[in-house]
Amino acid sequence: MPFERLSPVRSFPSYWGQRNYPGCYWSASSGRHVGYESWLERDEAMAMDFDPTVVAFAAQPFWLFWPEGSGVRSHPPDFFARKADGTGVMSVAEPLDGG
């Protein structure tokens, strides 16, 4: 599955007084804009773009689901990167537990 070509599964909200800085980064390796929710994610996108082993990447292209207690938790990984050897790597810049 070419996850690196998918659009984000959710939007990157922007509102007055927001504490983080969302935006779009033009990725030369992917050949399109890639969204980010914070400057940390933007810096991670820039690092992937300059990594010669990464051929393309996408922001939040799918949801991860896992059981927790009697319910289910979910989280979209910040990025999915396709490596030159065909393998894929997920990246999560923020902690999953929110802390």
Question: Looking at the 3D structure of the chain, how many domains does it have?
Answer: 1
Over the stretch 63-74, which tens digit does the pLDDT of each residue have?
999 999 999 999
For 2, the token pair is 């070419």
Residue 4 within a domain? no
Please report whether residue 2 resides in a domain.
no
**Mean pLDDT (the chain, rounded):** 89
Helix (H) or strand (E) holding 83: strand 79-83
Tens-place pLDDT, residues 14-24: 889 888 889 99
Range of the domain at 64: 22-91
Q: What is the pLDDT of residue 44?
A: 93
pLDDT for 44-95, tens place per residue? 999 999 999 999 999 999 999 999 999 999 989 999 999 999 999 998 765 5
Of 36, 48, 60, nearest in space to 84 by CA? 48
Does 87 fall in a domain? yes
Q: Is residue 82 situated within a structural domain?
A: yes
